[in-house]
Structure 1
Amino acid sequence: MVERVFDMNLITFNLVVNILSFVKLTEAQCYKNGTCVCHCADCSSGCQSCSPGWSGSTENFCQKANTLYQFYSMNSENINVLDGNSNTYEESKDSSPFIRVHLKESKVISRLDITIQLVAGNEYSVYVKDNKYATEDDLKCNTFTYNGVGTIQTIPFVCKQPLEGKYIQIVTSLTSTLRVYEIEQFECTNGSFGYNCSDICPNSCSGQCNKVTGRCACNTGFWGTHCNKTCPMRCKAKLCDSASGDCVDCVPGNYGLGCNGQCSPGCQDICNTTSGSCQCKQGFHSADCSQQCIENCNNRFCLQESGFCASCIPGKYGNFCNANCLGDCDGNCVQTTGLCGNCAKGKYGFYCNETCHKNCEGNICDRATGKCSDCVKKAYGLYCNETCPRNCDGDICDRVTGRCKQCKIGYMGDTCLENCPDHCKECSQDGYKCNRCEDGWYGVKCETRCQESCGGNTTCDIDSGWCHVCSVGYFGNFCEQKCSDNCDASYMCDKITGNCRSCKAGKRGPFCAESCSEHCRNLSCSMNESCINGCEDGWFGPQCKYKCNYALRSCAKCKFIDDDDEPVCIQCSDAWFLNGSKCSECPRNCSLCLSDSKCHECKNNHFYGKTCNLPCNAACRNKTCDITGQCTLECENSKYGTKCDQDCPVGCRSCRNALLCLSCEDGFNKNCERCDNNVTCRKGEMFDNIDTITKKDKNVIHAGIIDDT
């Protein structure tokens, strides 16, 4: 039987405080500037006591949080053990007494502080679990055995390993009363640490410090248990060991634990950050490259360990190159003995003090005997003191026998004193075979003429006599066959097959024996009959065999677009217009239009208007006018004006304007005045044709004067 003892007023007060401070409990923290969120009962007048659920140093504003304070489920029993009040308790007097509390949610438990009424000889066990009724050993946090006098104490239960669950259950080993006052789990807020959470994590911590010890990972530039020491200035990137303060690496140019040593100027690269040793620049030696190589070392290069020269400057030898070479050396002598490795050019002998013959190639001879390695042109012999025959090609002969290596063109024989056979431009040195004939000849000794139909200066193969190329109009190995008459004479036909390279206009096929389609533009087609320049207007297809107006109504010109199988019209027949890719009929009297509402030209010039729906004025000669209605020829019927719609003066057969007659009616004189007594006069015909008026007459007319003369 579990009994609950509690103060109702206290529970009500605690509930209100819990509601107001729950968010603070989970988020409370101390900041790196040394201030903390206040969890005191009264934060306005100094911290005298802590809010419910909080404890710890009042100087640090109560940063010790009881994370189980009122952390019970709504249907939990035994809630007095989580009310933060040590005066209330839960009690069990059953035969197997236990106290179990149901948490609001599952929680990880490492330690619990439990205030309990202890009974001598009793064993108390604490379980953390998700299964309400489970009591397996692996769910047991720890066990406490009490052998003293009965008393109320707060016992710390440190779990053997962290346990997670939503039930905490306390079990006793004896059949006696189990009374529990409080179950608490304490934790410092983020940013505080220590037994009473009285310390604030250092500002140099990276992230949070350990809430018990205050240990933390240090920010860059700090070290020590609490990151309160500064890394040495020469640590690279201000990084040092957080425990010892030794630099992880040094700023380039420094070495040692504190990076206080400076690398030698002779270091090739950065020196070892521990010892200061390095790879030396050229001209320095020793482990830390602090010593300079001596000047006689070639390029100031010496061995790092000993300082011995790797090689000497010319003329010197010895470990430190401080002795002179023993002879006329080409460059260096042997560093250990002083003897020349090679003699200077033009010298030989043990000490390189003898002179080579002047005809030695490159002025070089054998060091021991003085014999030339090779001779200059025109010379031969062991010492190059003999002259080669004059017809040796390039003036070069065998350096021992004097035999020409090769003859000049046109000569043969060991000494190249004989001429090659007739028509032979170049022959073998023994004279057996010509290597090159004069144009028009072939054979072993160029004794046979090439075919006359060979092209290219009548040249042919030196062995077979086959023509290299044929003259225009011939083919075959010997160019003995004539090309087709239909081959384009500007090109040779194929030398082997006789196939035409190009055909005359209108012909196609390998031998140009077939005709192109008559509708190919310019009668030009390829070997496969495809028209090269496209089709004549009105035809389409690769061979231009199809009429556009058979495929597309009233289409005068069409073509294929990309790979479409159907042609597309690009120009329509007269009196039709292109509407997209099809032809539509123009208005009735149009001979050329751009759309069904805009004529560009009218049929027979007898109509005018946008759609050619208006007839030309009858006074226009031949009743013809342009699309605006203006007459294209002269006016008739005594009319004048651009549209022949104005009347000439009385008596005028034709006129220029209302004042000037060009010809008169019968019965009127040349001044278009009526004749007297109705006598017929025909003077009015004098100006029937305006084109016959002379320049003088025109000037008179413009002046308004007509003379009888």
Structure 2
Amino acid sequence: MIFIWTTLTLQKNVMFRMFALLCMTRICLATTAIIDGVEVDCFVNCACCNGGAAQCLYHSTYGDYYCVDGCVAPMMGNKCRNYCRGNCLTCSQHTGSPCFTCKDTFYDLNSLCNKTCSVGCVGGTCNADGTCTTCREHFEGDKCDTCIQGKYGAYCSMNCLYQNCRCTEMNGCDSCKTGFAGYVCEKCIAGYYEANCSKQCPSGCSGGNCMSNGTCFQCVSGYHGEQCYNRCSKGCSDAVCYSNGTCTCLSSFAGTHCDECVVGYYGETCQQQCSVGCSTSYCSKDDGSCNCDKNFVQVKCDACTIGLYGLYCDLHCSDNCAGDTCSRIDGACTDGCVNGYSGSNCTTKCETGCASCQQFDKSYCISCTHGYSGSKCNCPSNCECYRGDKCNICLEQWRNPSYQCKCHTKYCTSNACTTCLNSTYFLNNTECCECPKNCKGGSCTTGLKCNGGCKDGFFGIDCSQKCTDIDDVCLKCSLLDGKCFICKTGYYPNESGDCVSCNGNCNNGLCNPETGKCIKGCVVSFWGDKCDINCYSKCVSCQQESGICNSCTDPTVHGLYCNESCYLSCVGKTCEQSSGHCSLGCDGNVFGNMCQTICPKNCLQTGTKPSCNTDGDCLYGCINDLEGGDCTERRIYIASSTNTATAALSGILGILLICTAAGCYMWNRRRSKPEQEDKRETEMTYEQLQGQARGQTYTNVDDHYSVLSV
């Protein structure tokens, strides 16, 4: 029994150790992948299949848990439990080769992505061939593996001592930056200048050499100026001039540089005459441009104002000329005719059915009404028309003559034609038909109803009608009745949906094409959204939104609407518009911002001038011996000199009499009271007398009166 128990114990230990070894092996050999940001153990069946468990099925060759839609990156194998080889991110599922894409910072599919992208690539990532989309700072080259001039080191972060050199160590100079030369690339190569030696000396420099600022030492023949960019004028004899451009002129040229034409001529050789439409005999030498006389337009004033023709542009083109333009010579319509007319002067109507026709053949239709085609406008499109040009057969597998042969099986998704390619077609029995071309978004439903409404400019269930058929200046209208929502520039829809001209009081005649609100403001004297309200009568101009006056026509009024009179006491009856304050001062015996307050009545007046200043203080003194800024304080006179001396002497005699009386009194008291009490009483009496003496003040003053205010 002991033997059996020992054997079982050994077997359990062996099995436990084997199980532990298998677990450690399983952990060490664990393969994981990141799916949607979560690390997943790919040894779990179906865990790393593309599409998850739904794409993990039995395969007759590969058995259970076969990933039918491949593996997530970077896994491979029938059950997607192995990594792609090398640094491949995606590879062949069964063999791991070829490598389809590389992990970030690696490239070269042929070597299983074992080449590392240059550190000079932004983010360390590169293309399949090692090239980089963008280089980090201080790197250059297709693979961003070269330092720019002036930098060196593994990260191109260290500076070469000589910044115009390409170096591999600080004091080195292996080669020069483009345009530089010298032992340490300290100067420009011949023919170049500027700090970076990047600018080539002007081509007009003789010998191709110039100073460091680009100034030529000498110009080649026929040029002048500091950098010899300027050609000598063609008006110079032999095309030669001095360094300042002056020269001897040919006969048809004038000016110190011979670059002007004689009066009445223009052109490169001054051989062309200025137009009779120029307001003066002069025109631009370069292009003949000039200021035009009445009825003439264009740069050279050699064309008539739209709608006019003739030598002096005083005749009117035909009303049927397209664009209202015609030949200045004979009045022939140069841009063709408006729809419905033909002929040289567009006075002949096109044949019936033609929306427009050739200018010189009224029976040959260019466009037709009601969707018809052909030179006679009798044949629908995609049809074979005969015997009256009526559509009987659809052409080239087109179907449904009743729908102008716009249906075809090529628009179906299958031979059975149960659905159409997209919403721009609708199903009609066994074919799909084109939606009306003017449907917004191109989609429709059976019955030719546009799903998203019509394109701007069209209306109707099938969007076949033009907004301009109802109003020729309408850009967008109601789907059902064609009432206009948005009009062309210069117009807006009224309440009835008809396009009307912007109010004539709009600046530049411009208004919002939907609301009619003037978008450039109003002309002077009008305000409101449509500039249809008059500014107040005394406004020079007013604000469009509120009608508040910007300024007043009359300086005697003020207020937001210039409808409040300035006070009559303002000088000239004028005041500031914003506050009503009298800007020139007061007229009369008044003061204050608005001259409403009468000067104090005790101010002394002089003539007709105000007796007080703007603060109400009297300017010329007071009446009735009054004083103070507003003359409200009265003067009191106090006598001095002899009177003062007499009063002082009387005061002294009075004190002596009081002292004598007090002495007598104290003598009698001492006889009847104890000595200590008499002494205390004597001290108190003495203090009282001292206090009375201190109350008197004697001052020596001059012989005059001093004034006290009361």
- Whether these two folds match at TM > 0.5 is no
TM range (shorter): under 0.3
Quick check: which has more Rg, 1 or 2?
A: 1
Instruction: Name which structure has the greater RCO, CA cutoff 8 Å, separation 6+.
Output: 1
Relative to its length, the structure with more helix (as a share) is 2
